[in-house]
Structures are given as C-alpha cells and as structure tokens.
Amino acid sequence: MWNYVRAWFPDTHEPSSPVRLPHRKEVIELTLRKAWMLATAALAAGTLVAVAPVPADDQAAATPSTAPNIVLILTDDQSYESVRQMPYVSSQDWVKFPNAYAENALCCPARASILSGQYDWKNKVVNNSTAQRLDETNTIATWLNNAGYRTALVGKYFNAYPFGEGLYTPPGWDEWHAVYGMSSYNQYHYTINDNGVTSRYGTAETDYLGDQLINRAVDFIDAVPPGQPLFLSYTPTSTHSPWIPAPRDVGAFKGVAMPKYANLNEEDVSDKPAWVQALPLLDLKDQNRKRRREWTATLNVDLAVKEIDAALAATGRLDNTVVIFMTDNGYAFGAHRERAKRCPYEECAHLPFLVRYPHQAERVNHRLVSIVDVASTLADIAGVTPTIPQDGRSLVPLITRQKTSWRDAILQHWIGSTATGGPSTSNVDTPIPAFWGLRTRRYRYVELETGEKELYDLRHDPFEMRNGVNDEAYTTVVVALAAKLDTMKGPDMPVPAVVITNQPRD
Ligand SMILES: [Ca+2]
Ligand SMILES: [Ca+2]
C-alpha cells in the first residue's frame, strides 16, 4: 500500500513546509475552479427557486426560525488519539463523550446506523457490500428536510455510491456533493457529483479533495436563506488510507515520535481467538509512518471545522448551531497485530465524539454512547420524531445536564468475513469471524461464531492484553455479561445473509 501511494504521488508531497492554515477566503481563492463555480451557481439558482420555502423577496417578512442549525462532521477511519493533533478542534469548548463506540466498526454499516438510528442487522447494511439495502426514504436527512431544514451532504456517502445507479441524489438532501466510490480516498483523481453534475479532478494542488469539500460546505452555508435552519453533513475522507494530506500540511509531524502503545504487535496472543493468532507481526515502522500520515491528513479536517465555523459566524448562525464531531470507525495501526478496523477491540470501535451545543460549557460526560444514538439526537435537536424504530437514544438530556437513566452497555456486532479476494495490497482484508460483543464501563465481552469468547477487565488491562474469560475470578462477571448480551441482541435476530464477492475496498 505504502509503495503504491509513493509511486502514485512521487512529487506532490515531497516538500516539507511549515503548517499554515489559511483563512477560508484564501483557501477559496486557491481552490475554487471557475468551471465548477459556474455550473454550481446555475444549479443552485434553479434548486433554490424550486425548494426554498419562502420566496427570496419575502424573506424579510418571514418569521426567523429558532430551530438550531446542525453540522455533523463525520470523519473516516480516524484513530481516537489523532483528534489531539487537531489544533483548532482541540481549542474549542466541547461536551466530550470519551466513551463512544461503533456497533459495527466499518464504513458503510457505521454510516447507515448514523443515518437510520438502527443497528446494522436492522437497517440491513451489515458490511460494505450491502449499503444499497438502506431505506434512503427514511433517514435523518428526510426527517430534517421534512421539518424545514435545508440539508446538504458534502463528501463521502457510501463506499460504492452511486451503486451503478447514475447521478442520483437520495431523498432528503437539497444539496448533494458526493464523491464517487473508491476514487474518494485518493484526494486527487476523483469524481464528484454536484447536484447531478459530475466533475473529474486531477493532480493540481487546487484539486485536493479536502479543500474542494471545504469550499462546497462554505458555499452551502452562505446560500441558505436567513430564517431557514440548515443541516450539513460534512464527510471528508482524508483521514482514510492512503492518508493523502493537503499540500500545505505535508511535513507537519516530521520527526515527531509516534505513540508506543502496549498492544502494538501484541507479543503473546495465546489468549486471543484464532483469527488474531493467525496474524503476522507487522512492521511497526511502517505502521508509524501510516499513523503519521493520518495525523497529517487530519489537519485538513481541522481546517474544515475552522472554515465551517467561520461561515456560520459570518452568516449569524454560530450561536444557534449544534456541531457534532465524530468518526465512523477507528483504526488499529498494529494494535493486537491488526492493521485496520472491524475488530472488537478499542482501537477499532472507539470513536472520537465531541458535541458543541449552544450555551453548554466544556465538560466531559462518561456515559456510554453508541453510534446509533446520532439519529435520535439530531431528530431531538430539530424537534422531530424519527419515523422508524430507533435502537439509539437522544443524547440531548446528557448534553444539557438533565437527569436521566442511561444504558450500562454498548452492543457490538460484526457479520463475519473471509478473505475478500481484494487487492493483495489491501490493508483491510483480515478475515474476522462473526462476533457479538458488549462494552461496559469496565469490561469488554465478546462471543465469536467460532465458539471462542473473550473478556477484558479494562480497569486493570486497558490495552486488552489478557483475555480473562476462563479466569475463575471472572466467572460471575462472564455469566452476567453473557446474559446481558442475550438480552441486548433480542430474542431473534434475523441477520441478513451476505454473499461477499469482491467487497469494495474500504
Ligand atoms: Ca470508515
Ligand atoms: Ca495477550
């Protein structure tokens, strides 16, 4: 993978220059392409006339909406610790949820759970080959759009979008700026669908995808009529392999030592399931190089948050906007010898999860948050009721310090995979058997389809080095967690069958 990346971009990213985050006007001037601007302006004009609830001339007479604006920053494969490397995000006051987890730590299932508020086996998106199963007519986009929100998706939708279906925009989205499939990870040489008009970009510095997405997000915010609440789903891909940073960020972490976590290349895996025991030791220098690239590529998302905030401030919306910053799944970078994601362990399932909410001071909330909570939370903020059953719960009571009961465990699930037949250089094709798991404040408990089980006491073993499922000291704990898992799974779980053939690289 590394050699592939280096060979593909032999010159663009060689120079080392100091980090400099330009003001958004500078970014716009640097990156906006005239042809794209003209096409979008024409489209936007037509679209606005068609869907704006109030004619432009009558806007002054309209009653301004008090519904909060909502910005969902959804990064891709971002490792938990890398958020600390984002200077602007780190400088903001957030309600921080340090115990947030994906149910299924993979792109499409995670994104479908965010859109639907349902577990993967309920919304039927159980891996990256099944995103077309999502009912796109019933998502946070349709709920908020029906409630009067002007909605936009800017970035990645699903890995295989548009599924061979052409230039379609899913229901509920007024503005649609979705990158096409696998091309979206490269940051150059990608195709993007702007409201039905596709553009193909090349290798010029101004083509850098992250900057192009920033421009689209800012343009969207600028164009929403005053008085109409907005919902922006900003879904960049620079934090995903092959971790291509913006030209201005290259070299930002040169010479910086990478963390040495205890579970990197876990030496004794005799306590682990067979799938982990089958993993070879990784080249940690290579893993560190990738982690450093991830940190560097993350800086463009940091810039995006800053520019989106600037646009919200310039349009008078900042004080009435909820911002959620999160990722769809984590990334292992060699923890337990795993290179990527989907694993049940912390590095795969643990999500950065930050909320900036009007009139709420910075603080930490340690409650257990699941990725399925996002949809109910956005609906609650918008004052609408989801029209499909929700597996998640609104986080608003936690954010606004209301007393409420809360869950004591997060459900985890993976449908299982064999070798995918993908590119031999793929770093995501580790075969991982199906499993169900729980994450409580203290424990992780996993049951695999192989019959293997795992228990980690995170209070004493935060790096999950010692599987204690057969330790007599934990017998009572295991019995209780097994019963809890049965309860949370429900009495019957018709997990949709999956035939995995040429699963899209994720
Ligand atoms: Ca992902
Ligand atoms: Ca071990």
- Tens-digit pLDDT profile for residues 36-46: 333 334 334 33
Q: Whose CA is closest to 74, among 252, 308, 290? A: 308
Name the pLDDT band for 18 (thresholds 50, 70, 90).
very low
| Residue 118 structure tokens | 């349902």
Among the ranges given (312-321, 339-348, 419-428), the one the predictor scored with the smallest mean pLDDT = 419-428
- Strand pairing report for 95-96 and 353-356: antiparallel
Q: Whose CA is closest to 19, among 281, 276, 299, 218? A: 299
Residues with C-beta atoms within 5 A of ion ligand 1? 76-77, 107, 328-329
Distance from residue 271's CA to the centre of ligand 2 (Å): 5
Distance from residue 86's CA to the centre of ligand 1 (Å): 19
The full set of domain ranges for the chain reads 2-9+21-51+66-407
Name the pLDDT band for 496 (thresholds 50, 70, 90).
low
**Ligand that lies nearest to the alpha carbon of residue 336, given by its number in the listed order:** 2
What backbone torsions phi and psi does residue 195 show, to the nearest 5 degrees?
A: 50, 40
Distance from residue 499's CA to the centre of ligand 2 (Å): 33
Q: How much is the pLDDT for 65? A: 58
CATH number of 2-9+21-51+66-407: 3.40.720.10
Name the pLDDT band for 34 (thresholds 50, 70, 90).
very low
Q: How much is the pLDDT for 265? A: 98
Name residue, tokens 């929700």.
390
CA 332 vs CA 77, 131, 264, 356: distances in Å: 9, 23, 9, 27
Residues with C-beta atoms within 5 A of ion ligand 2? 268, 271, 465
**Mean pLDDT value of segment 480-505:** 71
Q: Look over the chain and give the mean of its residue pLDDT values, rounded to a whole number.
A: 86
- Tens-digit pLDDT profile for residues 243-258: 999 999 999 999 999 9
Distance from residue 329's CA to the centre of ligand 1 (Å): 5
Q: How far apart are CA 424 and CA 458, in angstroms?
A: 35
**Ligand that lies nearest to the alpha carbon of residue 463, given by its number in the listed order:** 2
Distance from residue 330's CA to the centre of ligand 1 (Å): 7
Name the pLDDT band for 129 (thresholds 50, 70, 90).
confident
Q: How much is the pLDDT for 399? A: 98
Distance from residue 396's CA to the centre of ligand 1 (Å): 25
**Mean pLDDT value of segment 121-126:** 93
**Ligand that lies nearest to the alpha carbon of residue 277, given by its number in the listed order:** 2
Distance from residue 269's CA to the centre of ligand 2 (Å): 4
Q: How much is the pLDDT for 267? A: 97
Distance from residue 47's CA to the centre of ligand 1 (Å): 31
Separation of CA 203 from chain center: 25
Distance from residue 465's CA to the centre of ligand 2 (Å): 4
Report the chain's terminal Cα–Cα distance, integer Å.
13
Name residue, tokens 């606005």.
48
